[in-house]
Amino acid sequence: MQLYDYQYNMGLLLLQRKTWTSQVDELKGAISDSHETLQREKAAHLLELSEALGRLESAQKALELEKQCVLDVSC
């Protein structure tokens, strides 16, 4: 009877291990997908930031030029 109980419990442990292994594999896949999505979004945000900084620089140059024109006209 002890051998049967031992074999039964080992079977349960093996089934539980398969379940946990499957769940771990699913979680690893989900983490990998999330990481890839994060990297894509990070790259997109950096591109948007770069474009916004370029527009800011252009606007600052235009403002300085406008100020210079106003000074030239008023003198």
Predicted local distance difference test score (pLDDT) of residue 4: 87
H helices present in 1-75, as ranges: 2-74
- Rounded Cα distance between 70 and 12, Å, is 85
pLDDT greater at residue 37 or residue 74 = 37
Give the pLDDT of residue 1.
Answer: 85
Please classify residue 71 by burial: count the beta carbons closer than 10 Å to its beta carbon, then call 0-12 exposed, 13-18 middle and 19+ buried: exposed
Cα distances (angstroms) measured from residue 1 to each of 6, 34, 53: 9, 49, 77
pLDDT digits (tens, 9 = 90+) for 35-57: 999 999 999 999 999 999 999 99
For the chain, the 3-state helix, strand and coil shares in percent, each to the nearest 5, are: 95, 0, 5
